[in-house]
Amino acid sequence: MADKKTFYITTPIYYPSGKLTIGNAYTTVAADSMARYKRAQGYDTFFLTGDDEHGLKIEQKAEAQGIKPQEYVDKMADSYKKLWKMLDISYDKFIRTSDPEHVAAVQKIFEKLLKQGDIYLGEYTGWYSVEDEEYFTESQLAEVYKDDDGNVIGGKAPSGHEVRLVKEPSYFFKMSKYADRLVEYYKEHPDFILPHSREKEMINNFIKPGLEDLSVTRTTVDWGIPVPSDPKHVVYVWIDALSNYITALGYGSDDDSLFKKYWPADVHLVGKEIVRFHTIYWPIMLMALGLPLPKQIFGHGWVLMKDGKMSKSKGNAVYPEMIVERYGLDALRYYLMREIPFGSDGIFTPEDFVERVNFDLANDLGNLLNRTVSMINQYQDGMVAPVVKDQDEFGEDLMKTAKETIAEYEKQMDALHFSQALDAVWKLISRANKYIDETTPWTLNKEGKKEELSRVMTNLAESLRLVAILISPIMTQNPVQMFKQLGLDWNNADQKKLEFGGFGWNVKVTEKPTPIFPRLKNDVEVKYIKEQMKKAKPKKQTRSEQKQEKHITIDDFDKVKIQVGQILSVEPVKGSNKLLMFKLDFGDGQERQILSGIRKFYPDASELLDKKVLAVTNLKPRKMLGHESQGMLLSSEKNGEVKLAIVSDEHANGAQLG
C-alpha cells in the first residue's frame, strides 16, 4: 500500500512571558482546525506548537518571581499545555526551546553555519535601554535625538526610557549573500507567502533596500543556548526560535525519521509581524543548511480591540478561559474562525461576540437542529427513514446547495480561508431553515401526507449530518452532540461520509432535543465580558505602595543581606549617562563591583571616594551594558532627588545590617 500523504503544520512558538490572550489562541485554533481538517481527509498529519523560552525578558520574569529561569519556563509551559487542553488543541508535539534535543541541534546548526562561513564574528551596534534591558534598532525607537549634522545621538524606547548606543561583540549571519536566491525562489513559488500582499511588502521594505546581516548572538544575556566554540555568546532569538520547526522532528539528532517523513512543512502559520522572520531569515537559514524550504508561510492578521492592540495593562485583554467557561469552547472557536477573515485584522467587541453566538449558533444552527429533532420525535415517533432519490423541487434545491456547500467549503479550507468556509456552511444551514418554511411539515402532518413528511425529515436530518461534519474541524464539541441528538454515532465512520445521501439513515432518534447553544441576554453578557476585561487589568502600584501593601515577616527581611561597603573607586560607565561603576570593599579582601544609575545626582563622583555605603549583597548578579553588577547600592529618593545611603566611619566594612 502506498504511504499516506503527509501534512505538517506549525504555529509560532509563544514567548512564555505571560498569560495567553484570545489573540494568541487565534493562531493555535486556526492551526488546530486545519490539522483536524487534514486528518479527516486522510492525511498523515503532524501538528507542532510550543514555546520560545530563552532571552532576557524571560530571565527577568523569573527573577521577579525569585525563581530560576528553568523553573519559571517549566511552570509556564505547563500552564500553556493546560490552556491548549481546554481549547481542544490536538497538537502532536509541544516543543520547548529548552528541550535538550533542541539545544543540542541548535548548537550543531550554529557551528555548521560558522564553519562554512555563513556566520562571522563582528560588532553589534544598537540602541539599548537599561531600564527595559532591551535592544532596539533606530527605526524601533519612539523618539530620536539628532545633532546639528543630523546624526542620531540618542533617543527613547517605546516605553519612554532613554536609550544609548552600545557596541558589543556579536556573531552575524550573512543574509545578503542569499538575497537573490530568495527573490528567485519567491518568483518560482508564487504561493510561498500568503496573503500575496505580504510578499510585496517583504520585497519592497526589506529585500530591495538591501538585506542587513543579522546579529545572532549576545554576550549580555545568560539565559540562552551557548555557542559551543565561544560560550561567552548565547544564540540570540531567531536561530534558536526558527530552528524549532526542524529540531522538533529530530533534525540534528540520531533519530531524524520524523524529519525525513514530514519536512518540508506544508504551512507555517504566523502573525503578520513575524512574517519577515519566516519569509526572509528562515528560508535563508535553510538554504545555508542545504535543506528544502517550507511550502507556505501564511501571515494572518491581528485580533485587535477598539482601542488597538490587546494588552493587560490597558485592561482590554480578553482571555480564552473566561469565554470558554461562560459560553463554551465552540462559541470561542467559532467566533475566532468566523469573525475575522484569515489574513486580515479584526476587532473583538463583546457586542459582536454575543451577536454571533445568538444569530449564527443559537438561532440559525441551534434552532434548525432543535426543530428538526422535535418534529422527528413528534411526527414520526423518532424514526428517520432512508434517503429517497426522487425529490421535489425544494428537495432538489436543498441537495444542490449541499453539494455546492461541500465543494466551496473544501476550496476555502484548502486555502486557509476559515471564515469563508464557515460562510458556505451557513448557506446550507439557511437553506435548510428555508426548506422548513417551504415544506411546512406541520401542514403535511395535518394533511396526513406521511411520505412527503418523511422525506422532508430525512432531508433535514441529512443536511444537519453534513453540517456537523463540515464544522467539526473548527468546532470540536457540538458536532458530537448534534450526532447524538440525531440518533447517530460520531465514532462510526460510515455515518460520516461527506455527501448528500452518503449515509442511508433508517435510524431511530432517542434523544430529547436540547438546545446546543442557549440564547444569550445581550446587555447582560456584554456587561459581563467588559467587567471581566477590567478585572484582568493589573492595578498600578508604586514600588513603595507594593512595599507597604502587606506586612512581611522577619524571615522575609532576613532574606535580604545588607552590608556596609567602602567605596574604593568610582567611574562613569562608557556609553551611558546614567550609570556609575563602583568598586567596593566589604571586608572580605575581595573587591566587589556594583553599578548604579545615579550619575546625574553626583556630577563629581569623586566626592564619594572612601565613603561607607549600604548595599544589598545577595542579589543575583546581573549584567548592565556588558558589565556585571554584584549587588545594589541603597539610596533614598524624594521628589526625584536620589542620594546614596552613606553611613558613618564607625561601621566596619562588611558589617551586616539587621
Count of positions on this chain that bind ligand MSP (CB under 6 A): 19
Q: 275, 297 in Cβ contact below 8 A? A: yes
- Judged by beta carbon, residue 293 or residue 573, the one nearer ligand MSP is 293
**By CB under 6 A, is residue 324 in contact with ligand MSP?**
no
Q: How many CB atoms are located within 10 Å of the residue 520 CB?
A: 20
Q: What are the cell numbers at 587?
A: 571586608
Helix (H, G, I), strand (E, B) or coil at 99: coil
Min dist. Cβ of residue 95 to ligand MSP (A): 10
**By CB under 6 A, is residue 346 in contact with ligand MSP?**
no
Side chain identity at 441, as an amino acid letter? P
Q: 246, 13 in Cβ contact below 8 A? A: no
Site string for ligand MSP, 33-72 (x = CB under 6 A): -------------------x--------------------
Please give the Cα distance from 259 to 286 (Å, whole number).
14
- Judged by beta carbon, residue 244 or residue 478, the one nearer ligand MSP is 244
- Judged by beta carbon, residue 89 or residue 270, the one nearer ligand MSP is 270
Q: Which of 31, 62, 105, 274 binds ligand MSP (CB under 6 A)?
A: 274
- Judged by beta carbon, residue 310 or residue 526, the one nearer ligand MSP is 310
Site string for ligand MSP, 277-316 (x = CB under 6 A): -------------------------xx------x------
Please give the Cα distance from 390 to 281 (Å, whole number).
59
- Residues in contact with 622: Cβ distance below 8 Å, sequence separation at least 6, in sequence order: 63, 628, 629
- Judged by beta carbon, residue 272 or residue 519, the one nearer ligand MSP is 272
Q: Which of 8, 9, 27, 38 binds ligand MSP (CB under 6 A)?
A: 27
- Any idea which residue has 538585506 for its cell? 211
Side chain identity at 464, as an amino acid letter? L
- Judged by beta carbon, residue 167 or residue 295, the one nearer ligand MSP is 295
- Judged by beta carbon, residue 281 or residue 586, the one nearer ligand MSP is 281
Q: Which of 29, 62, 211, 241 binds ligand MSP (CB under 6 A)?
A: 241
Q: Which of 8, 9, 24, 578 binds ligand MSP (CB under 6 A)?
A: 24
Nearest residue (beta carbon) to ligand MSP:
271
For the chain, the distance separating the N- and C-terminal CA atoms, rounded to the nearest angstrom, is: 77
**By CB under 6 A, is residue 26 in contact with ligand MSP?**
yes
> What is the 3-state secondary structure of 384-416?
ECCCCCCCCHHHHHHHHHHHHHHHHHHHHHHCC
Q: How many angstroms separate the Cα of 412 from the Cα of each of 34, 342, 416, 419, 499?
A: 11, 11, 6, 8, 17
- Reading phi first (left if > 0) and then psi (alpha if -120 to 50, else beta), residue 571 is in beta
Q: Which of 7, 8, 15, 319 binds ligand MSP (CB under 6 A)?
A: 15
By CB under 6 A, the residues from 437 to 496 that bind ligand MSP are: none
Q: Which stretch binds ligand MSP (CB under 6 A): 181-189, 266-274, 386-394, 458-466?
A: 266-274
**By CB under 6 A, is residue 83 in contact with ligand MSP?**
no
- Judged by beta carbon, residue 346 or residue 395, the one nearer ligand MSP is 346
Please give the Cα distance from 33 to 475 (Å, whole number).
8
Please give the Cα distance from 39 to 496 (Å, whole number).
13
- Judged by beta carbon, residue 99 or residue 364, the one nearer ligand MSP is 99
Q: What are the cell numbers at 143?
A: 523618539
Min dist. Cβ of residue 247 to ligand MSP (A): 11
CA angle 4, 295, 418 (to 5 degrees): 80
- Judged by beta carbon, residue 52 or residue 199, the one nearer ligand MSP is 52
120-150 burial: b if 16+ Cβ within 10 Å, else e: eeeebebbbbbebbbbbeeeebeeeeeeeee
**By CB under 6 A, is residue 14 in contact with ligand MSP?**
yes
The β-bridge relationship of strands 346-347 and 267-271 is unpaired
Site string for ligand MSP, 200-239 (x = CB under 6 A): ----------------------------------------
* Site residues, ligand MSP (CB under 6 A): 12-15, 23-24, 26-27, 52, 241-242, 244, 270-271, 273-274, 302-303, 310
